[in-house]
Amino acid sequence: MDKKLITLNEVSKVFKVGEENFTALHEVSLEIDSGAFMSFVGPSGSGKTTLLNLIGGLDVPTTGNIFFKERGLSSMSREQMAEYRRENIGFIFQTYNLLPVYSVYENVLFPLLLNGDKEKDVRDRVMENVAKVGLTDQFKKRPAQLSGGQCQRVAIARALVKDPLIILADEPTANLDTENSLQILELMRQLNQQYQAAVIFSTHDEKVTRYVRREVKLEDGRVVSDKNNVNGTA
């Protein structure tokens, strides 16, 4: 099986800020394998989130190409891009981005409904994922009734429930205290090993970098280092 999941070929992204052009990424080239557990690290404005958004198909590069397996993302229509995200990508956001009027159970169920599953067919699968993040007792609660750590767990369960090939986690521990951060990271490591989904963090949290197997450092939109086995956990 081909291990190469994502390939970035000289990807640049330029944003227009007022009258000025701001280059968020400069000709970044990377390859990401399936089952990766890696992070993009760097200071604010270094291009981490932009890179994550491009891989996740939420944005398109100004120049260069991104391939998912052999398929170019740039040539996809909006509908195809939505399908790509729906079927392959699980997002975890810094601010959780849970659907506020839905319960824990419904939030986790939602991606499966989007994929066309019937609730009665996937009920057990949803509850299993809720259980994996330790929220079985809270499954009827809405996001507003949960703590930040619990919300992030829901977001993880939501990202994992559809068995995506890639999980993109944008600063997932930024709003959490140390204890919750470590719990979340440990959980994600376990899930990565269990599900074999590639997990890509964007972070400047050192706690995260202690967990990942590969670390790509970014500065001013350029890759300045790309280290494998950073923690000796290959």
Partner 1 sequence: MNWDIARKNFYRQGMRAFLNVLVTALSIISLIFMLSLLNGFQAQATRNLVATDVGGGHYRAPGFDILSPTEWEDHTLKAAESLLRLSDKDKAEVLIQQGQLYPNRRLYPVQIRGVSMEQSLLNLPLDNLRKYGKQIEDVIPVVVGVKMARKAHLKKGDILTLKWRDRSGAVDARDILIVDVGDMVNPRVDDGVVWLRLDHLRSMTDRQGEVSWVAVREYMGPVEGFEFQTVDALMADLLALLKQDRINSKILWTILMILVCTSVFNTQILNIFKRQKEIGTLMALGMEPMRIVRIFTLEGALAALWALVFAVLLGVPFFIWFQGVGFDVTHLSEASFPIRETIYPDYQPKEIFYSLLIVVFLVVMAAWIPVKKIIRLDPTLALRGRAIT
Nearer to partner 1, 75 or 77 (CB): 77
Contact pattern for partner 1 over residues 89 through 118, marking x by CB under 8 A: x-x-x-x-xxxxxx---x---xx-xxx---
| Ramachandran category for residue 47: left, alpha or beta (phi over 0 → left; psi -120 to 50 → alpha) | left
Of the listed pieces 52-60, 132-140, 146-154, 182-190, which binds partner 1 according to CB under 8 A? 52-60
Q: b vs e for 18-40, b when ≥16 Cβ sit within 10 Å of the residue's Cβ?
A: eeeeeebbbebebebebbbbbbb
Query: Mask 165-194, x = binds partner 1 (CB under 8 A)?
Result: ------------------------------
CA–CA distances in Å: residue 178 to residues 95, 122, 206: 16, 34, 11
CB of 232 to partner 1, least distance (A): 33
Binds partner 1 by CB under 8 A, chosen from 29, 69, 82, 178:
82
Residue 230 has what DSSP assignment? T
- The set of long-range contacts for 109-117, using a CB threshold of 8 Å and a minimum separation of 24, is 109/161, 110/158, 111/86, 111/158, 111/161, 111/162, 112/161, 112/162, 114/86, 115/86, 115/87, 115/162
Of 47, 56, 61, 172, the residue at the interface with partner 1 (CB under 8 A) is: 56
CB of 2 or CB of 121, closer to partner 1: 121
CB nearer to partner 1: give 173 or 183: 173
Footprint of partner 1 on this chain (CB under 8 A)? Answer: 53, 56, 58-59, 78-79, 82-87, 89, 91, 93, 95, 97-102, 106, 110-111, 113-115, 158
